[in-house]
Structure 1
Amino acid sequence: MGINKFNTKNQMHRVRLAGLVFTVLLLVVSVIPSSFVVQATGPALDVNSKVEGKPLVSVSGVSTYPTDTHLFMTTVSAFGNGDAGAPVAQAVTALFRKDLQVMPVRVMFPDNLTTKEVKAQNTKAMTTSQDTAALVAFELAGYPVSMNLKIVGLNRAYPSGKLLKSGDIIKGIKLASEQQFHDISSFKQLSSILDKTEPKTNVTLRVQRGGEVREESFETIPYPADQQGWVHPGSLLGVGLEVTDVKYPGNVKYIVDGIGGPSAGTMFTLGIFDQLTEGSMGGKASIAGTGTIAWDGDVGAIGGIEHKLQGASEHGATNFIAPAANCSETVGYEPKGMKIWAVRSIDEAKAVVEGVAKGDTSKLTSCRALLDGIKKDK
């Protein structure tokens, strides 16, 4: 039986051509931008460490103390931006990997903002986080701090909205049951009083309005429940506040290039506090964490916690400080042997570090315990 060499050569040519076309298509797909951003584990940095011989976070102008505690701030890396998403091949691969997350470009980069503007916002958020962390740490360490609390937002539906004015600066507060005013020079001072004040309590606020000082009386309002149903203790004035003229002793400098956003605030605060106080707050432990920090020390939610847990694990941390609001996102992503502690304030975060150092975590709340408690309540 004869063999048609011409047909055989044609078939081989078609196979090679198909292979070449397939290879070209793969190369094209690998570089064509998608409409998604791929998030992955970013670097974890010890805020008590040095970078090229210089402290990552340095405190000067006041007495500082060495520490053996390793406090890791955790980050998320992102591939793609508002101008071009991650390559199609990378986005498709990420769909099948637990350690990667796919996010629509417009979720992270809104249409009304350029990539440059989003980057600027993240840089500003990092700077604000650093400033807040420094003040909170100094105040936590017992140093005198001060700031102006200027009212910038009012709601006429609240009792305070009918009496206060935008631009008023809070100078003092007095409860109806008290005879004297409490002078207010920091957000923490104000919140510590309100945290113990029941909703609908009559308070008198002393404010500076232009060149005069006025006193306005009204009822406080309750906190709304968060996504987990938890209600912050105490009550609110029902106003938006802007913090200005922040002052604290000493200076704080950071070496954190190329990282934006506010999520390192909690770990910065702990690291600065550790330097301001004698001894090693966490002993020789390696503790990682994340969370925004507010002027009153409240710890807030962040994004990408599943990637941050992995980054912490890669650096040997077996204890992780997590905002309570993010606990539900840690389920299924807990690295083996890692304990994830739920916190809502810098005081609770500090208690985690100190508890780990003492080897006694019985008074701490893990994310698992927090979530189990919520389920039982329901």
Structure 2
Amino acid sequence: MLTLRDLNRATLARQHLLSRHEGDVADVVHRLGGLQAQEPRPPYLGIWSRLAGFERDDLHAALHARTLVRATMWRATLHLVTAADFAAFRPVVRPVLAAAARRFPEVDFDAVVAAADRLLAAGPMTFNELRPRLLAEFPDAYDRALGYAVRMLTPLVMEPTEDRWSFPREPSFGLPGIEPTPAGPEALIERYLAAFGPATPADVQTWSGLGGLRKVMEGMDLERVADFAGRQLFDLPGAPRPGGDVPAPVRFLPDFDTLILGHADRTRVLAEEYKGRVATKNLRVRAVYLVDGFAAGTWQIKRSGKKARLLVSPFAGADLGVLEEEGTRLLAFAEPDAVTLSLEVADTV
């Protein structure tokens, strides 16, 4: 039987949060099955917490080389994924994206997608540039519905720039130029368990957005293990499960981190009583820090002139000494031109 701490340590090991991965940036993104990328900066910070010797230019170069792409993927949200995973899994999640697009049933999806493909063949555009062009061809449609349908149904990638976090406030989207190589649901499940397991079918569905996976998992050559709540979990044979007594270092996870969003039951990392302090009503997922493997508070960076402050909002008592070394390193990475770095306890969450 796996205890809560056993589950915690198994997942942290696969997320490279017990010890940083020794390798390159594309490898760690592949191992994680991608990182949620609603905003440009969080993937940089999420990789920094997981990859030894990571430098900002490593990710910047991989994006410009199209080794990594930022695109709509899991749960119809923006993710940073490898180009190979985009080719393999973007077709797999198409039903999820098509279902999301159906919120606008008045749209002629096939015609709009064909028009977008034709328009974008001339080069990348922002959606503020693309929507008026689509509206000229579909004058009776709602322009936002046209843009949303394209975002869901046309495989697009964001075009990186020379901005600090590789993307501007209003990014351009373009055709990927990546040949699809569709994978099956079994490959998706294996990749999920390698990054998040042991897990239930509901966990895989929460991460991917795909339903109907229990029957697929039951037909696969997977280990079955029981947890402390009596649930049956699935896992890859030989996958790391180091045990709940293994030490877990302090780690800072960014907004929308894949670890916080990767399970139907998040208690292996985030206690139920703190869930409302992390996931907000406007669908934001706050940055958290881990102490002994579990979310112990939220954090944010405040910049004023040459001073950068890491403001922490603990769920319980705060010991800044525990956070100081890792927090200062995080600040130095995120704000490299700051002269003064400090950690402080925020007045409110």
TM-score, reference length from structure 1:
0.29
| Structure with the larger helix share | 2
Q: Computing the radius of gyration over CA atoms, which structure comes out larger, 1 or 2?
A: 1
| Structure with the larger strand share | 1
